[in-house]
Amino acid sequence: MKKLNLLIVLFLFVNMLHAQDRITGKPFVTRSEVIAQHGMAATSQPLATQVALDILKSGGNAIDAAIAANALLGLVEPTGNGVGGDLFAIIWDAKTQKLYALNSSGWSPKSLTLEYFKENGYKKIPAFGPLPVTVPGTVAGWFAMHDKFGSIPMKKLLKPAIDYARNGFPMTELIAYYMERSGRFLQKFPGFKETYMPNGHTPRKGELFKNPDLANTLEKIAKGGRDAFYKGDIAKTIASFIKEQGGFLSYEDLAEFEAEWVEPVSTNYRGYDVWEIPPNGQGIAALQILNILEQFDIKSMGFGSAEYIHVFTEAKKLVFEDRAKYYADMKFSKVPVKWLISKEYAKQRAKLIDMNRASRKYDAGELEQGNTIYMTVADKDGNMVSLIQSNYRGMGSGMIPTGLGFMLQDRGELYSLEEGHNNVYAPRKRPFHTIIPSFITKDGKPYISYGLMGGAMQPQGHAQIVVNLIDFGMNLQEAGDAPRIRHSGSSQPDYGKMEDQGWLEMESGFSYEVIRDLMRKGHKIKYSLGGYGGYQAIMYDAKNKVYYGASESRKDGQAAGY
């Protein structure tokens, strides 16, 4: 009888496993792509995706929908973004058949100087408190996008976020986890408990969370426009609060800030043009990595092979040395973008890679003179928006201006305090930035709007997505679900130098044989819990005139269309 029972259990177990097998697609893929004709939204939170679709269905365009969804994300995912942070976007405008890039990253306080940090013994800018706070660029970014491309009133776009903030929403599992972790050290700052711990603890999975202060703030913005945030009571509250906390951000710093439209830059990778925003962000690092990888036959190496992972890691090391030395606000420093993303430079750098051995150290190249959210939306007319927004370090600086319901970013932590460095601190300077949206065109036409959040993981993730799509022939969902690698060390955002080659971190899904081969090449391998980024993407199928959507399996996200 026991033998019979064991056979039954084994039979059920085998059939259960068989039922979980996918009939189509790669074995690691979590679901099939979403396909729709009239519009598509992919965000890191399902409620935000639904808000974007509601705006599209009510007659709004992709830009309108992106603003509405981003406003809601600041409420439902405060661990990654909010009106206290910065925003970057790449927009395909169907009318002009052109890409536009928006840099809405805020600058440093005019009255805070490098001398202040030196006189007070700072070796680096602190991560929390008032000193790393820079002007929040998000609201300026919304209105810059809306003024240029919007089609319905901002009042309508901000209403869903206002309603959810006033009436509440159920907290998701992942955000509840991150909020609890953040609350452990941020609750010491004024306003945190009142805003994010109304019941004595951060909201738990499934609990309704309300933020009436944020609802009031968004209502003021909806009624008073951009100036309500940068020149009205909100700006005065931010400035007075930061001054009380010993900081320097002033009313004038806010009132004089403007978002900036810039020219996106690109490289052609095996026939596809990959677009990024130039520095002060790190987007061109993805282009540099791709240019180096193009010097190798990546397709023949195969996805997940030790050979491919080795080449990718070495390319990343090379590029991040340039990133640490050169990337900065181009109004203050000469950043030779054209040379850095050139094919000639990539060929020179690729020659430094030893196929049999991991490097311990690379130097930056010699130059010729001369936690975050990502979302994307597309509409029936062909407009597409690639948007990324962040407070940095998860929830930000810990600074919650009295009664406003949001936390200010701590992006200023990324300035260098080394005199002569491209990214050295200066008043009214934008810091080196990690958040980067991306876009792919083919023969001058829109193809894929995509991004991958996660600090220094972002350019590594961008490049891995492109390689998965183009070299390894994965579909849009597979490209995001495929296990990722992340190399840490060799010039992290704080610009500290590693004495060795850093760590190669590998997500579950790679075979022990591959790990063993990489260790034999000299790579230091470790497994990390999370930190591999969050991906969303929309692809336009010009032949069938439909959109494909994909959402990150590692997040709470959703891709949906109509």
Confidence grade of residue 490 (pLDDT, cut at 50, 70, 90): low
Backbone angles phi, psi at 312, to 5 degrees: -60, -45
Q: How far, in Å, CA of 348 to CA of 14, rounded?
A: 53
Residue 529: its pLDDT value, please? 78
HSE at residue 324, side-chain half, CA atoms within 13 A, is 22
Within the chain, what is the greatest distance between any pair of CA atoms?
Answer: 83
Q: What is the side-by-side order of every strand in the sheet holding 438-442?
A: 34-36, 546-551, 534-541, 445-453, 438-442, 272-276, 265-269
Residue 500: its pLDDT value, please? 53
Q: What does the mean pLDDT of the chain come to?
A: 92
Confidence grade of residue 141 (pLDDT, cut at 50, 70, 90): very high
Q: Is the pLDDT of residue 2 over 70?
A: no
Share of the chain above pLDDT 90, in %: 86
Question: What does the angle CA 405 – CA 410 – CA 411 come to, to the nearest 5 degrees?
Answer: 125
**Tens of pLDDT along 271-318?**
999 999 999 999 999 999 999 999 999 999 999 999 999 999 999 999
Residue 479 burial by CB count (10 A; 0-12/13-18/19+): exposed, middle or buried? buried
Q: Is the pLDDT of residue 419 over 70?
A: yes
Q: Is the pLDDT of residue 66 over 90?
A: yes
User: Fold for domain 283-326+335-369+437-536?
Assistant: Serum Albumin; Chain A, Domain 1 (1.10.246)
Bridge partners, residue 281, by sequence: 433
**Tens of pLDDT along 207-216?**
999 999 999 9
CB 414 within 8 A of CB 431: yes
**Tens of pLDDT along 328-353?**
999 999 999 999 999 999 999 999 99
Three-state DSSP string of 410-436 = CHHHHCECCCCCCCECCCCCCCCECCC
Q: Is the pLDDT of residue 494 over 70?
A: no
Q: How far, in Å, CA of 437 to CA of 87, rounded?
A: 10
162-166, 241-245, 509-513: the lowest-pLDDT one: 509-513
Please indicate whether residue 18 or residue 402 has the higher confidence score (pLDDT): 402
HSE at residue 562, side-chain half, CA atoms within 13 A, is 15
Residue 365: its pLDDT value, please? 60
Backbone angles phi, psi at 402, to 5 degrees: -50, 120
Name the pTM for this structure. 0.93
Q: Burial code of 506-535, b = ≥16 C-beta within 10 A, e = fewer? A: bbeebeeebbebbeebebebeeeeebbbbb
Bridge partners, residue 438, by sequence: 450
- Angstrom CA distances, 408 to 85, 209, 326, stand at 6, 20, 27
**Tens of pLDDT along 158-187?**
999 999 999 999 999 999 999 999 999 999
Q: Is the pLDDT of residue 64 over 50?
A: yes
Q: Is the pLDDT of residue 8 over 60?
A: no
Mean pLDDT confidence for 347-364: 89
- Crossing angle of helices 457-470/283-293, nearest 10°? 40
Residue 109: its pLDDT value, please? 98
Active-site residue list: 372
Mean pLDDT confidence for 383-397: 94
DSSP classification of residue 24: S
Amino acid letter, residue 397: S
